[in-house]
Structures are given as C-alpha cells and as structure tokens.
Amino acid sequence: MKPAFSVILFTVASGAGFGLIMLAILFDLFGLGGGLDRDSLLAAGGLAFVLISVGLMASTAHLANPKNAWRSFSRFRTSWLSREGVFAVLFYPFFLLYLLGVYVGGGTTPGWALFFGLVAFLLGLVTLFSTGMIYASLKTIRQWSSPLVPVNYLTKAFMTGILLLYALGLGDLSPVGGMIALAAALILLAAVVKSVYYFWVAQPAGPTINTATGFTRAKVQILDPGHSYGTFLTHEFGYQAPPALAKALKVGVYVFAYILPLVLLWPAAEAPGSGVVWVAAISSLAGAAMERWLFFAEARHVVNLYHGAQAT
C-alpha cells in the first residue's frame, strides 16, 4: 500500500494525543504518583487537544472528496471508520468539560469533572480501538487482518502518551521512580507487541494466485497482466518499499521508538528540566512515524495477485 503522509500524521498525532489525555485522566482519577497538579493537567489537555485535532483534520486530506467527509458518519453499523469518527466527535464535549472542571477546581478536580473525564477516557479508548479495527477488519490485506493491529495501535498510543505526560509532569510527581517504571513498562510492552507482529507478518502465509483463482491442483502463473501501463490499483495497492530502506526504517523503529526513549528515562530523572525527557518523547514520535510508514508500505493487497504478484 502506498503510504500517505496525511494518514501517518493522523495515526501518530491523534494516537499520542488520546494516549496523553487518557493517562492524565487516570492519574487524576486515582491520584497515581501523587497526582498531577492543575497546571500539568491543563498543559496535558491543551497538548492533547492540539494533537488530536491536527490528526483528525489531517485524516480528511486522505479522502478523495473531503467535502463529503460528513457522509462517513452515516455508516456506524457497518464501518469502523464511521465508528471512529462518531466516537471521536463524542469525545470532545466530555473532554472539554473535564478540562473546565480542572480549571475551576483550583487544584482539586470536582467530582462532576472526574465523571466527565471518565467518560472521555472510555470514548478515547473506543476511538483508538476503532482506528485499529479500520485496518484489522480488511481481510484482503493479510498484513493488517490481525488482532495484533489494534493492540499495537493502543500500546503505541499509551507509550507516546506516557512520555509526553512524563515531560509535562516531571517535578510534580512523587515518587518520580514510579513514573519511570510505568513509562518503561509501557515502552517494553509496545516493543514486545510490535516484535510479535513483525515475526508473525514475516511468516509465509495468506492467499496465493492458486487460491485466488480456485485452481489449486497445479501451479498457476499469470503470464501477462491485463494492462501495459500502471493503473490506480497498481499505484495505490502495488507500492513496494525498497528493501534496503525498509530494513533501515525497521532498525529506526526500534532505536527511536523504544531503545532511545528507554535509555533516556533514567538520566531524565537525575536532571529534571534538562529537556532530556522531551528528547525521549520526540524520539518516540519519530519512531512511531517510521513504524506507521512501514505498516502501510509492507502491506500487500490481494488484488496484486492479478497484476503479477505470485505471493503476498
């Protein structure tokens, strides 16, 4: 599949935004690590608002006809894309009412605001899951049709979210060591899930030209595709990343998304305010962008079998 910048920006930015505010709400609800003060919660809410909004607006750039984007809301019963849009829109009023409560609470979030925060948390969780299911529900793309896809999307969102929250809340948490342990656990969990996905996707499996045509008793080979020039299908669904670039980016995913942020967590605790934790957060976002690019570039739509690909 051809990677689109708008979709990569959407999944990385909105995922980090939802992960950030959902973790902030959890910290506020249960007073984890001593809780976040009002300024940290408002800062987390403001950054999450920007990330989520930028991501959702970027997603409309991928539509063939953006002015008809509203129609996507009308397929709630059958479309994960529609469900994602509906839940994302429902998220905003509860999210903003929670932030209002944080602001007027003066350091102690009132009970009604915590209720709105809990609803916003659940809507954010469902929105993230729906985004992952947009891809996992496509049985024509073996690399996407897996429960690992929404799990990976959720763990990546919480990983980038905790690093952003760590950057915003450092110095206001007690003990800081607990925050580091939580961030390290989420980074390791995201790395394990992604590793399992890469192992699974590397296994030779999926539809072949034999199963696609129904001729399974002998080897089938297409001698000549039905066109002499590229088409929309070959352009959008037949994109193949250069192998050297794919390998380099896969190394980059591990270095920037997992290893570097993990290594930087401890020096960040010893030198709060040095900006090291922001480097870790930005590094994780860069690694997440690489991971998203590979997610699209390595996907093989079954339609490629009719255009010369003999295996997915």
Model confidence over 65-105: pLDDT tens digits? 767 677 778 888 888 989 999 999 999 999 999 999 999 98
Please give the share of the chain, as a percent, with pLDDT higher than 90.
47
Report pTM.
Answer: 0.88
Please say if the pLDDT value at position 170 is more than 50: yes
Instruction: Tokens 């957060």: give the residue.
Output: 281
Q: Which two tokens stand for residue 23?
A: 């973790």
Q: Which two tokens stand for residue 211?
A: 């199963």
- Position 283 scores a pLDDT of 94
Instruction: Tokens 């905003």: give the residue.
Output: 92
In this prediction, residues 11-18 reach a mean pLDDT of: 94
- Per-residue pLDDT band for 229 (boundaries 50, 70, 90) equals confident
- Position 141 scores a pLDDT of 87
67 CB burial (10 A radius; 0-12, 13-18, 19+): exposed
Please say if the pLDDT value at position 165 is more than 90: no
- Position 312 scores a pLDDT of 42
Q: Where are the domains of the chain?
A: 5-307
Count the Cβ atoms, other than its own, within 10 Å of residue 63.
13
Please give the share of the chain, as a percent, with pLDDT higher than 70.
91
- Per-residue pLDDT band for 18 (boundaries 50, 70, 90) equals very high
Please say if the pLDDT value at position 160 is more than 60: yes
- Position 171 scores a pLDDT of 46
Q: Which two tokens stand for residue 226?
A: 């039905």
Residue 15 makes CB contacts below 8 A (sequence gap 6+) with: 55, 128, 131, 153, 156, 157, 160, 288
Q: Does domain 5-307 have CATH number 1.20.1630.10?
A: yes
Residue 169 near residue 190, CB atoms below 8 Å: no
In this prediction, residues 279-286 reach a mean pLDDT of: 93
Higher-confidence position of 169 and 202: 202
- Position 177 scores a pLDDT of 61
Please say if the pLDDT value at position 221 is more than 60: yes
Higher-confidence position of 172 and 71: 71
Q: Is the peptide bond before 175 cis (omega within 30 degrees of 0)?
A: yes
Between the CA atoms of 193, 197, 199 and 202, what dihedral angle is there, to the nearest 10 degrees?
-170
Residue 198 near residue 258, CB atoms below 8 Å: no
Residue 62 near residue 7, CB atoms below 8 Å: yes
From CA 154, how far away is CA 138, in angstroms rounded?
Answer: 18
Closest to 210 measured CA to CA, from 220, 200, 202: 220
- Tell me what the pLDDT averaged over the chain comes to: 85
> Which of 56-70, 103-117, 152-166, 180-194 comes out lowest in average pLDDT?
56-70
Please say if the pLDDT value at position 214 is more than 50: yes
- Position 173 scores a pLDDT of 46
Q: Which two tokens stand for residue 80?
A: 């994960």
Three-state SS at 18:
helix
Phi-psi region of 80 (alpha: psi -120 to 50; beta: other; left: phi over 0): alpha
